[in-house]
Chain A
């Protein structure tokens, strides 16, 4: 009995000494087992995994310096096993990173570690940037004369931070960050010559974990959009008989999140080829080449090259609410307003519209025109224009974007140039590809991560 008591005392004392040696018990919310891996498919993407002893949410701070000025979104679902993808990294760069976690009452962090990203694959375009007046990322396909194509994400420094190629014998014209926050969408199609029956809308995970998935949408054209609910809408070619011969118009095809496809609009809904025949029958009738969607008004804006017109289309009624341009217009141009010709992308902001006028200027020069639209009297008044210095010509694509601060982004696609203008119209940033590469339509992103949802309130512990 005495022996047992002595052993108990000694054991307790030993345990107490051991505990004292260990210091405070480990913080259960503190990340452990932190590992980082460079993606095999995308060498500028790193996946960080970690575990916590209790359910936590967390994120990763990272960056090319110890300040680690970037971070992944905070997780929304508490868990013990975690992963986060580091995006926006440049190739062959040492990256500092640290995991941060929160268990609802306390924060923890791992130590700072480093990992080096890999090299870019052969065949990526060289990029040259001048100026610091742009921020964020440009998501854009690049096409090359040799037919190869890639989708790139380029940072404001003009560096490639994400890339994707595939072996489809198709070209990519538009790329967007998907609203799921995890993937990138692009169209794989052919607009040079015969449209492709094998065209697809492709979704690629940003973390490079797989080669992605695709949805077959035959005869895709230049452009597509994603609705807030995840529905995809794309321009496709539609042929109908007209006066005993096939006539190549266009349609807007929607692909619901369950994969169901339906045509929500056709050229024949608004236009009569007998009245508006278009100006380049060799390329088809309407030759729609640019698509935007306004979810508030539930309308599409569709640009048609051969009409040199842009139409606002009611998604519910299929009616064209107005048409601005040379064919079938409902707007007239105010005296002195320049006309646009064979335009590509545009940007509608309230009662103003910016248009990439590919061929309306004299000579081999493209320009951006901005009109103010008098909706009551249906008069378009030109209020601004921009020509690059030196001037550039893009016979295809091209896209202007107007920012809230009055600045403008212009993608002179075929010229391999992008400009960022300040509100006064001065160029403050310029990006050029190396020879032989062409930009497709771009989307701009302030961040490669989705707008964050608030963390779950249920994480808070009751005290």
Chain B
């Protein structure tokens, strides 16, 4: 066995290892048609503007003095959830809590049509340097909308996240042996909205797992103009046909929005508005904090060359993301109080328990030069481990493991490359039993506090927990993603 065949065998074998993958957390999928078409296996072989994200060191391999790239990602994101039936202890009739079944709810805003990437890279006349500027929306499901009366409403009714990363990158290489690079990122969040239904009940021993007369829609709307982050990358070519790439997002940071909170009673029986005050004065400002993960990606790429021309390549990537940093989403009301029907509810510090875990992803993909200088075909597969434990499964972000398959092609006409890709991403259905569910209804006025064991304040059927669990049920999600990129290489 020669070295080339050995390297290929190792790659193939590694691809068969039943390794896990990563949960996507806030993000899902790949940025750039060429990367997506390879199933995201692009850390060692990145050679377009998406390198600013995959591996900035690879910017030196773009193959032009000036490269301009523009593209968009179109996606259809289906999210389905069926809450498990439960007993409605809030509406006991003749001593018997009705058995309540919930209808399946679907993401009512599945289409995501604007998801751009634009950038340019240039050596600026320097032999071993490349510099790049890019702006892109990180890949993911930007918007979800569910029925306000659906079974998911105590978890979430809607969310909308508009995030744009502005990136300035620089890369340097040492001959054809190795290179290093860095991307400095300005993360701009012009819009981050999140709404869910809360139970405003303040009476002791109350639990309303299905519906409450004091159901209220709580909405946090805000933005975060600036969060800094950075990606470091490197590549190494130990053999002419073998490349290794590593990259990582290395700064522990978080998105913290300046937001406004609104609380609206849903019952038609309540005419009164909820007044939000702080120290007796009207106020509605809150801060929403979403931690960002550290990430690391490593890839190994085999390039098959015959007659001095590459025929195909195969790349295996393994990614790691420290989503365990996301213990909870925090809404800091800083002493805010909600006043309704002579009741005063301390908004205080609301922590939506997430308890995410670190994720690992495996991506395998490659290109085939079908018609040299004219057509390249590519394909890939990937698998990502679940970002959340089953107990904390949620509809706001895909929380289970994901798998997918992708295919793509590039067409070359003189200096222009048109790259297209299709990616199918699926979270296999997962079911969370009510007994194991740990996402509890938000009931900020509840008197059941502390260890949640007080028989005077806590509902007898929910002792030991703050409120009924509301995330039991069956989750499924899938996305159809199409990407189109135009590259111009001078």
Chain A residues at the B interface, C-beta cutoff of 8 Å: 23-24, 27, 29, 59, 61, 71-74, 98, 100, 102-107, 109, 447, 449, 451-457, 459-463
Contact = CB atoms under 8 A, between A and B. Distances in A.
A107 B464 contact: no
Contacts of A107: 84-87, 99, 434
B449 to A, nearest CB: 15
Contacts of A106: 84, 86, 433-435, 472
B94 interface: yes
A454 B460 contact: yes
Contacts of B462: 460
A453 B95 contact: yes
Interface of B: 84-87, 94-97, 99, 431, 433-435, 438, 453, 455, 460-465, 469, 472
Contacts of B435: 27, 29, 103, 105-106, 461
A460 B89 CA distance: 12
B464 A460 contact: yes
A71 B434 contact: no
A27 B433 contact: yes
Contact of A459 (B94, B97, B438, B461): B461
14 contacts: A23-B431, A73-B96, A100-B99, A102-B87, A103-B435, A106-B433, A107-B434, A452-B94, A452-B96, A454-B95, A457-B461, A460-B460, A460-B464, A461-B435
Contact of B99 (A61, A447, A462): A61
Nearest to A451: B95
Contact of A460 (B96, B433, B463): B463
Given A61-B99, A74-B95, A102-B97, 11 more contacts: A100-B87, A100-B99, A103-B435, A106-B433, A107-B87, A452-B96, A454-B460, A457-B455, A457-B460, A460-B464, A462-B453
* Closest 10 pairs (CB-CB, A-B): A452-B95, A457-B460, A106-B434, A462-B464, A106-B435, A460-B463, A105-B435, A100-B99, A463-B465, A107-B87
A58 to B, nearest CB: 10
A60 to B, nearest CB: 10
Contacts of B463: 457, 460, 462
Task: Please indicate which of the listed interface residues B97, B431, B455, B461 has the most CB atoms of chain A within 10 Å of its own CB.
Answer: B461
A95 B57 CA distance: 72
Nearest to A462: B464
A210 B37 CA distance: 74
A335 to B, nearest CB: 47
A contact patch SS: loop
B461 A455 contact: yes
A392 B279 CA distance: 74
A461 B453 CA distance: 10
A447 B94 CA distance: 9
Contacts of A451: 94-95
Nearest to B458: A460
Contacts of B460: 454-457, 460
Nearest to A456: B460
Contacts of B95: 73-74, 451-454
Nearest to A104: B461
Contacts of B433: 24, 27, 106
Contacts of B85: 107, 109
A160 to B, nearest CB: 23
B430 to A, nearest CB: 8
B461 A463 contact: no
B304 to A, nearest CB: 32
A98 B465 CA distance: 29
A72 B455 CA distance: 27
B102 to A, nearest CB: 12
A457 to B, nearest CB: 3
A99 to B, nearest CB: 10
A74 B92 CA distance: 11
Contacts of B465: 463
Contact of A74 (B96, B434, B469): B96
Contacts of A452: 94-96
Nearest to A103: B435
Contacts of A74: 95-97
A447 B434 CA distance: 31
Contacts of A449: 94
Contacts of A459: 461
A452 B98 CA distance: 14
A20 to B, nearest CB: 10
Task: Please indicate which of the listed interface residues B95, B96, B465 has the most CB atoms of chain A within 10 Å of its own CB.
Answer: B95
Nearest to A20: B428
Contacts of B461: 102, 104, 455, 457, 459-460
A131 B153 CA distance: 43
A104 to B, nearest CB: 7
Task: Please indicate which of the listed interface residues A29, A71, A103, A451 has the most CB atoms of chain B within 10 Å of its own CB.
Answer: A71
A226 to B, nearest CB: 20
B99 to A, nearest CB: 4
Contacts of B431: 23-24
A456 B84 CA distance: 23
A453 B433 CA distance: 27
A27 B436 CA distance: 11
Task: Please indicate which of the listed interface residues B85, B463, B469 has the most CB atoms of chain A within 10 Å of its own CB.
Answer: B463
A406 B107 CA distance: 52
B127 to A, nearest CB: 52
A463 B455 contact: no
B207 to A, nearest CB: 10
Contact of A59 (B84, B86, B96, B453): B96
A107 B94 CA distance: 18
Contacts of B97: 74, 102
Contacts of A100: 87, 99
Nearest to A59: B96
Contacts of A27: 433, 435
Contacts of A104: 461
A300 to B, nearest CB: 30
Nearest to B87: A107
Contacts of A457: 455, 460-461, 463
B461 to A, nearest CB: 5
Nearest to A100: B99
A75 to B, nearest CB: 10
B392 to A, nearest CB: 13
A463 B464 contact: yes
Task: Please indicate which of the listed interface residues A106, A107, A109 has the most CB atoms of chain B within 10 Å of its own CB.
Answer: A107
Contacts of A23: 431
Task: Please indicate which of the listed interface residues A23, A29, A456, A461 has the most CB atoms of chain B within 10 Å of its own CB.
Answer: A461
A100 B462 CA distance: 18
A23 B428 CA distance: 11
A71 B84 CA distance: 21
Contact of A71 (B96, B469, B472): B96
